[in-house]
């Protein structure tokens, strides 16, 4: 049994496929359950998280299909490393906003769709990353953890996977 697990842990294709499945499962949970069943609308930081998870899923899938044995595999893993670090920072900001005292929570601003229509992209990005009052609202919890706290756990796991892919010496 250990030899099978050891063999899997040295197969970049299977590890990238695992990353893809994790990202797709996270997106399905967010869209199908949180939004579709519980009718929770994502705040701007949640939308940024979803975009970053989707981008990671795409890179994991490309890496799994391509399965390069050369240094190109490091490009895939390095790209996902940058994305997961960005996602972790967004998630950390989101958790921080949720733990602010109520009198320090930023006021709610315009919706993301409206901002994208009327503001330059860089200004929208700046406003989204500063967060708003709606990002500080805890809409749902599981095991005492808010959605952004659960997302940070997801990003921690993806970070471990991506770092492992970076240091992995695949079997030829």
For 135-171, the pLDDT digits (tens) are 667 677 689 888 899 999 999 999 999 999 998 876 5
CA distance 109 to 119: 13
Q: Is residue 158 a contact partner of residue 60, using CB atoms and an 8 Å limit?
A: no
pLDDT at 44 over 90: no
For 98-116, the pLDDT digits (tens) are 877 766 665 555 566 666 6
Say whether 87 sits in a helix, a strand or coil. helix
Q: What is the pTM of this model?
A: 0.79
CA distance 100 to 67: 44
CATH number of 2-167: 1.20.1550.10
CB neighbours of 104 closer than 8 A, spacing ≥ 6?
none
């Amino acid at each position: 049994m250990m030899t099978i697990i050891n063999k899997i842990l040295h197969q970049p294709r299977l590890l990238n496929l695992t990353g893809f499945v994790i990202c797709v499962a996270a997106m399905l949970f967010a869209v199908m359950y949180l939004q579709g069943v519980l009718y929770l609308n994502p705040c701007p930081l949640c939308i940024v998280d979803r975009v970053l998870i989707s981008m990671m899923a795409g890179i994991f899938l490309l890496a799994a299909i391509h399965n390069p044995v050369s240094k190109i595999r490091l490009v895939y893993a390095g790209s996902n490393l940058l994305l997961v670090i960005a996602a972790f920072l967004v998630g950390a900001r989101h958790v921080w906003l949720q733990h602010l005292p109520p009198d320090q929570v930023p006021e709610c601003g315009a919706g993301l769709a409206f901002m994208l229509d009327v503001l330059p992209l860089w200004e929208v990005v700046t406003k989204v990353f500063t967060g708003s009052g709606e990002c500080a609202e805890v809409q749902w919890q599981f095991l005492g953890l808010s959605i952004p706290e659960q997302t940070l756990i997801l990003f921690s796991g993806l970070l471990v996977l991506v770092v492992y892919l970076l240091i992995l010496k695949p079997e030829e």
